[in-house]
Amino acid sequence: MRQHSLFPDDYEVIEQALAALRRLDVDEALTKVRLARARDTRLADLAALEEALVWLARQTLHDQAGIARTLLAVGEAFAARELGEVAAGVVDDAIAHVFAADTGDSPFLDPANRVPRALLDLLGRRHSKAHGRLRELVLAWPDRGDLWCWYGNACLGAERQAEARAAWVRALLLAPDRFDWWRIADRQLRTVRDDCLADAPAGDGGLTLAVAWRRGLLPIPARNDWLSHAQIARLSTTTAVDEHASVAARHRRFCLLLYLDRSLGGATDVDRRLAMADLAPAEFQQFMAACRQREQGRGAGGGG
């Protein structure tokens, strides 16, 4: 028979902590979690919850602009290993709960238009609503790689796999540094990113698109219209490199040339391939091997 205590039940304290977190009352939630952990070390591990709360206590959560900054900071903290995966998920879930009934009219949470309200729909798993909202945003801001990334997540949630892959290719070409790797819905794609970070010098993951294409995760069909002529012209200028270019810059240029090689169709552009070989020699060899496999009908992803 269970013994009664003069103190509230510890599991009740945990529920109180979670209720406070869902109101974003971080101080109250942290107090409750620490109380529960101090009283009973046999409780399920609450370290990730405390980690999330300690991190949240350093954020500004008083208005929607602060919430927007926090949502962006979660991914950065996860990438910098300041937040573990479970703790980062706790933060996202808490914010999603607070905004579950959000009816704001503005498409963005913050005045700088950095974080779309549709991200809250994604976190709340309202994929159909997120898809509709983000579709409007990528049409209005077609050069925003971050919006294409989130749109890809919404497409996958709405079971539009081909549309999701096309969106992620756009995102990686337009703004690879703003790709939301923490929230990427395709875990295989995140694995590719992790592999690239582990293999490349100085932690550069700039070849993620190339490796994902090679593994069949992001096919690039011939004669697609994913990038406009104006976007291709702009990227051709902004990604140009010289002998002093960084590894990251060279890898970004390589991915653009790979996209052009696979998507434009027609005869092979020898000069483009020579440039690819110079930019990333080892990856170019694997690119050529993958091209040969696809031409023989044995390629992963069935082409592209």
- Say what the pLDDT of residue 205 is: 82
| Reported confidence tier of residue 274, pLDDT bands at 50, 70, 90 | very high
The percentage of residues in the chain with a pLDDT greater than 70, rounded to a whole number, is: 92
Mean of pLDDT values over 51-65: 94
- Say what the pLDDT of residue 36 is: 84
- Say what the pLDDT of residue 296 is: 84
Task: Assess whether pLDDT exceeds 70 at residue 7.
Answer: no
- Say what the pLDDT of residue 298 is: 54
Beta bridge partners of 108: 116
Please give the C-alpha separations between residue 78 and each of 61, 72, 92, 186, 190, in angstroms, as whole numbers.
Answer: 19, 10, 12, 17, 13
- Say what the pLDDT of residue 201 is: 61
In contact, 239 and 230? CB cutoff 8 Å:
no
41 or 172, which is more confident: 172
Give the gyration radius of the chain's Cα atoms. Answer: 23
Average pLDDT, the chain: 90
- Say what the pLDDT of residue 10 is: 64
Please give the C-alpha separations between residue 180 and each of 19, 43, 87, 104, in angstroms, as whole numbers.
Answer: 28, 34, 17, 23
Buried b (16+ CB within 10 A) or exposed e, 62-86: eebbebbbbbbbbbebbeeeebbee
Q: What is the 3-state secondary structure (H, E, C) of 151-208?
A: HHHHHHHCCCHHHHHHHHHHHHHHCHHHCCCCCCCCHHHHHHHHHHHHHCHHHCCCCH
With both helix axes pointing from N to C terminus, report the angle between 127-140 and 145-157 in degrees, rounded to the nearest 10: 150
142 or 103, which is more confident: 142
Task: Assess whether pLDDT exceeds 60 at residue 278.
Answer: yes
Domains annotated for the chain, with CATH where assigned, are 1-98 (no CATH), 116-185 (1.25.40), 189-295 (no CATH)
